[in-house]
Amino acid sequence: MKITIVQPDIEWENKKGNFARIERLLSDIRTGTDLVILPEMFNTGFSMNPEKLSEPPDAETYEWLRNISLDGNFGVCASYIVSDNNMFFNRWILVTPERESWFYNKRHLFRMTNEEQTFTAGKTRKTFTFRDVRICPNICYDLRFPVWSRNRNDYDLLINVANWPAARHDVWLTLLKARAIENQCFVAGSNRIGTDGAGINYSGNSMIIDPKGVVIASAEDRECSITAEISMQELSEFRNKFPVLEDADDFTFNL
């Protein structure tokens, strides 16, 4: 599978502006890709204003994602603010040109910005299969909680979409590598650049990491896209040769 991370400078609370920005960045992709990954709250920035910015599950942003997917013949995933059953969610969604879709609601809400007071936490860890790759989604702060993303031999690619501040750049890199190594999986971390409406600075550093913790594609502090191909055959061979997951501890969640 060939995956592409798009790293934008997100315009604060401006959906149409961000749609246009992403479309321009996608036009620079010269080779075919299977999956495009956008950052957390890619259409608004990390805003705690869901009363103004939220939308129903199948509304404007969903339609835009679906059209982008159909036009490019690739899956596309990102998170944005969704209102569902009178609750607000920071929701990750994957839509595909085959007209399939899956979603995941952010489990760990970032209390340092009072996200947990505004949004409802997800309760279900999820995995999906797209083009023969098993995918587990995370959103930003989820990355700090390894039990939540523990590989139960049920995924091959961990995706984290984030608005991860520049001040914690080293933490971002360390945790992405750790999740790849401990779970024997590929990891794709999608971040943004620029400064948001709350004055927080972001340095990008989106990256794709292999199961040994080696960075195979990375982005600088600028608007860009990065692409890498991940091999399920190579992953299977590595897991068979070094079967760490066979010795993993069993556990259950108490939610």
d(CA 174, CA 230) in angstroms, rounded, equals 20
d(CA 135, CA 129) in angstroms, rounded, equals 6
Set 55, 106, 115, 223: catalytic member? 106
Q: Could you tell me which of 28, 38, 18, 3 has the C-alpha nearest to residue 191?
A: 38
- The H or E element spanning position 15 is helix 15-26
Helix (H, G, I), strand (E, B) or coil at 19: helix
- Measured in whole angstroms, the distance separating CA 49 from the mean position of its chain's CA atoms is 21
Set 40, 55, 115, 223: catalytic member? 40
Cβ atoms of residues 187 and 158 within 8 Å:
yes
Q: What is the maximum span of the chain, computed from C-alpha positions, in angstroms? A: 52
Q: Could you tell me which of 173, 191, 130 has the C-alpha nearest to residue 155?
A: 130
Helical segments of 119-223, H only:
169-183
Q: Which two tokens stand for residue 137?
A: 């989604």
Cβ atoms of residues 26 and 6 within 8 Å:
yes
Helix (H, G, I), strand (E, B) or coil at 183: helix
Q: Which two tokens stand for residue 62?
A: 């969903």
Cβ atoms of residues 209 and 215 within 8 Å:
yes
- For residue 140, indicate whether it is catalytic: yes
Set 140, 177, 185, 223: catalytic member? 140
Residues catalogued as catalytic: 40, 106, 140
